[in-house]
Structure 1
Amino acid sequence: MSVRGIRGAITVEANEKEQILSATLELLKGIVAENQIVPEDISCVFVTVTGDIDDTFPAVAIRQMDGWELVPLMCSLEVPVKGSLARCIRLMILVNTDKSQADIKHVYLRGAQVLRPDLAKA
């Protein structure tokens, strides 16, 4: 078994609590479904947001999911690069798995598909 990183990102239309929480859940559920992972196999989740998202912590949504209460979560600000994608939430999930690096499915939703068009589903 190896530790693998699973990436994902999603954008929100506005810096509003409900949008942030809803988008975070949508992204996490997408990553879980695509990779068939369970909370017990998660080492930790890193959550970053762009500086224009500050109405709530995205981790609040994750913490409310059944089975995710004990998963270590950490929120941070994304590096503020000029011209970078706005209102973006990113996840890096470190998971214990037998899957190869090539078998990991990264998830990019909404406006965040521009970050990795090679990995985003149409």
Structure 2
Amino acid sequence: MMVRGIRGATTVSQDEENEILRATTEMLLKIVEENHVVPEDICSVFVTTTADLTATFPARAIRMMHGWELVPLMCSLEIPVQPSLPKCIRLMVHVNTEKSQKDIVHVYLNEAKILRPDIIRS
């Protein structure tokens, strides 16, 4: 079994707690669904936000999900390179899997779809 990274990114329209929590939950659920993983498969989740999101920790959304209480989470700020996509939340989900790199499905939602059009599956 290998440890693979699954990337995800999304955006919110405003720096508002409920919107950040909803968007983070939506993105993680899509990653889990597309890659057929469960919390027990997850080694850790690294969460970043752009500096314009300060209303809450996106990791709170994951911590509130049933079955995710023991998954190690870490939040950090993205490097503020300009021009960068504003109001962006990114996930790097480290998962134990038998899948090859080419079989991993990375999830980009909302305005974040512009970040990696080369790896987005329609």
**Shorter-chain TM-score: which interval?**
over 0.9
| Amino acid corresponding to residue 109 of structure 1 in structure 2 | L
CA distance in 1: counterparts of 2:38 and 2:4, whole angstroms: 14
State yes or no: 1:41 paired with 2:41. yes
Query: What pairs with 1:66-81 in structure 2 (closer than 5 Å)?
Result: 66-81=66-81
Query: What pairs with 1:26-105 in structure 2 (closer than 5 Å)?
Result: 26-105=26-105
| Amino acid corresponding to residue 42 of structure 2 in structure 1 | I
State the partner residue of 2:3.
3
User: Alpha-carbon deviations, 1:3-55, whole Å to 9, x = none?
Assistant: 00000000000000010000000100000000000000100000000000000
What secondary structure does 2:105 align onto? coil
Unpaired segments ≥5 residues, structure 1 = none
State yes or no: 1:119 paired with 2:122. no
Shift in Å, 1:119 = 2.2
Aligned pair count reads 122
Is the 2:105–2:121 Cα contact (8 Å) retained in structure 1? no
User: Alpha-carbon deviations, 1:47-104, whole Å to 9, x = none?
Assistant: 0000000000001110011110000000000000011000000000000000011100
State the partner residue of 2:16.
16
CA distance in 2: counterparts of 1:105 and 1:121, whole angstroms: 7
Normalising by structure 1, report the TM-score.
0.98
Identity of aligned residues (%): 64
Unpaired segments ≥5 residues, structure 2 = none
Is the 2:32–2:38 Cα contact (8 Å) retained in structure 1? yes
